[in-house]
A and B are shown apart, each in its own frame.
Chain A
Amino acid sequence: MGLTGAGFVASLTVVALAAVAACVRLLPRYSGPGRRQVAARTGLVAGGQAALLLALLVLINSGMQFYSSWRDLFGMSAGTVRIADRNPGPAPVAVPSARPSHNALTRRLPAGDGRLDVLDVHGPRSGISAHVYVYVPPQYARDGRRPLPAALLLAPARDAIVGQRVPELAAREIAAGRLRPMLLVIAPVGPGCVDAPGHAQGETFFSQDLLAAVGAAYHVSGEPSGWSVAGARGSAAYCAALLAMRHSDRFGSAVFTATALAPPAGDLYGGSRAIRDEYDPRWRLRHRPPPPISVGVVADDGFASAARPPMHAEPLPPAAWQNPPTVLRWLGAHLASGSQA
């Protein structure tokens, strides 16, 4: 009879109930003071207890699926343990890494200023794809001892490259020695920065896929102290704040605008107020432990003063975004060159 079988469990239960009933009924017959009488009472009580306990243990065991069978209970061997591996082989499949290439936008950078690549990122974790532009300073060396730090600038590529000419400005600042050599990754916010239950996994894209793709294509820092994120307005600013606050293990510093920190509208939070709060930088600032990050807050409205250590926050001039070198220099000052990978 199986250890966990319904028949075995039921019969033990019946036996236990019968033993208790017998105990209650038979005890009066042995009420005397003699040794035999006491021994009989002890036997009745102890037997009843044992039967009841056994039934209870078997019942719990079958409910919890602890020991599955008598063989299992007595520790008999289940034979050789074999691994069925559908993909035998030493290493996991390498995710096809994006290779830097060029297009009309990237060819605009003057020679001597470093180069601008475009990276076609297909996020294997989020399923999100994006064109990402990477400014590579002339100091970059694939086999350099120290990897370069990097800043992620969340902005429409055309605005940042053609409009604000951020790569040229970065090259000029680096050449003048006002900005430490660093990679500048320009990515559109497209999918947003929320892992919306049942919808786009934008947070996973920016915190995992994008960094893994850049890390596979370039000799770049893998430490949070070597990564910054910046966003000027709207969803980009929100994104920069959120990524630094929720992923301080990836981004050690950030620049964003305080006026754009409300979580985006829409069905992004699985219908849960609490989940929306967790995606609200201001709520996190009040209710979650301060993360180990440094942030520069443009148009500060009290956000910076509410930050407590180990989080450091400082207000930046309201017009900072009109003068990208200010922001770049702030980012550079808060980036550490990474350790050797």
Chain B
Amino acid sequence: MRLTGVPLQITVVAVALIAIVATVRLAPRVAGGRLADVLARLGLVLGCQLFVVLAVLDLVNASFDFYGSWGDLVGVRARTQNPGVPSARTPAANRSALVTPDPAAPRYRLPAGQGRIDSVVIHGARTLISEPAFVYLPPQYLTPADRTRFPVIVAFTGYPGDAQNLITHLRLPTTVAQEIAAGRMPPAIVVMLRPTVAPPRDTECTDVPHGPQAETFFAQDVPAALASAYRTADRATGWGAMGDSTGGYCAAKLAMRHSDRYAAGVSLAGYYHALQDFTTGDLYGRSRAYRDENDLLWRLRHLPSPPVSLLLTTSRVGEKDYAQTRRFLALARPPMRVASITLPFGGHHFSTWRRELPPALRWLGARLASGTKTGSFTGRPPGPGRSTVPGPGGRSLSAGRR
């Protein structure tokens, strides 16, 4: 039974109802005043609560796609090798395609003329990490005669969460399509990913010493893989990173540490400190100094501000990162450029970020160098995109839906 499937939802709700019925039926048997009876009644009520809570957690998870599968929840990966774990026997990465269609992923279909979404897996040649992703191609890209290279936005959802949250909850592709159609941002390729490369562990886009090389995957492997499959911009000025929450931290960190790859970044309610908790384990090789290097405020205080543009969003009420964001804005020095959105209120959830998204996309679009023509001799092989045209079974996305 799938973790986010309807059968499981029906099952857990039914179990919770059965627990309530059982409690109602069994309560009279332990109606006495003895301590044992009182404890039995308490046990019935709390046991009941356990099933009710399980049911609610499952419904909430299905709605927000925190954990997309049992594998994500407990850390078993079905189709890919163990990512980034040191091993002398890792198989050679001699696969020919670095971006392959993902038949297991949901397919999404945009209204005619708004572009296309490919469901793919991106394979890292250097890290051997393989991650599911969705690639939005604007209608201009799909014009047969077009040989332009397009700016690329690499977008990250939070932790925990699946990349499709960016489609279903943030509505990123439909919003991008609207902004492009209205001429408020240049046509761009949007690649949607989750920051989690070794589920269920939260790796915070960090190269973990002796562990998963998440940063190398996003800074080196992903741009190289995308360039091998799509007509992507060939300079950092055409590449931007964005994300929400953990994805926002990742976007800001990638832009700051790899400004030669990502010239601009948008952090929707991202934080700035180098997180370490029970979901991450030790990410920094037990080194305080390396952890500092992953702390974005520490970087601004102790290292040159890199040549990159960043947009940071927060809320005066509802975001824990408000004070940190103010500090970041105050610490940034040229050549770094910073901009911010501060809402009067708005919590840490997608409806807040949906409000910030259109202006954020316009800001990012204005900072990405628009496409250059590809050379006629760089005959790139047809990308996997051509073989992944969503079939009629794809889920339709309507731009008008709110």
Contacts and interface: CB of A to CB of B under 8 A. Distances in A.
Interface stretch (A76-84, A131-139, A157-165, A172-180): A76-84
A275 B45 contact: no
B26 to A, nearest CB: 10
A23 B335 contact: no
Given A41-B27, A272-B290, A309 B259 contact: no
Contact of A49 (B32, B52, B285, B339): B52
A110 interface: no
B179 interface: no
Interface string A177-192: 0000000000000000
Contact of A45 (B24, B31, B93): B24
B338 interface: yes
A229 interface: no
B395 interface: no
| Interface of chain A: mostly helix, strand, loop or mixed | loop
B223 A32 contact: no
B177 to A, nearest CB: 19
Q: Which interface class (under 10, 10 to 19, 20 to 34, 35 or more) fits A?
A: 35 or more
A68 B345 contact: yes
B337 interface: yes
A81 B266 CA distance: 15
A46 B20 contact: yes
Interface residues of B, number: 102
A270 B290 contact: yes
Contact of B355 (A78, A90, A248): A78
Nearest to B334: A93
A68 B367 contact: no
A341 B369 CA distance: 13
Contacts of B88: 286-287
Contacts of A124: 304, 306-307, 335
Contact of B349 (A66, A95, A275, A310): A66
B335 to A, nearest CB: 5
Interface stretch (B114-122, B138-146, B316-324, B386-394): B316-324
Interface string A312-340: 00000000000000000000000000011
Interface string A66-94: 11110110010111011111110011110
Contact of B339 (A46, A86, A278): A86
Given A67-B349, A68-B345, A308-B92, A271 B307 contact: no
A49 B377 CA distance: 69
B74 interface: no
28 contacts: A23-B41, A24-B42, A27-B27, A27-B31, A28-B27, A31-B31, A32-B28, A48-B45, A49-B45, A49-B48, A57-B56, A68-B315, A68-B348, A69-B318, A69-B345, A77-B355, A78-B355, A86-B337, A92-B367, A93-B334, A270-B287, A277-B209, A289-B90, A289-B126, A291-B126, A292-B126, A310-B125, A340-B378
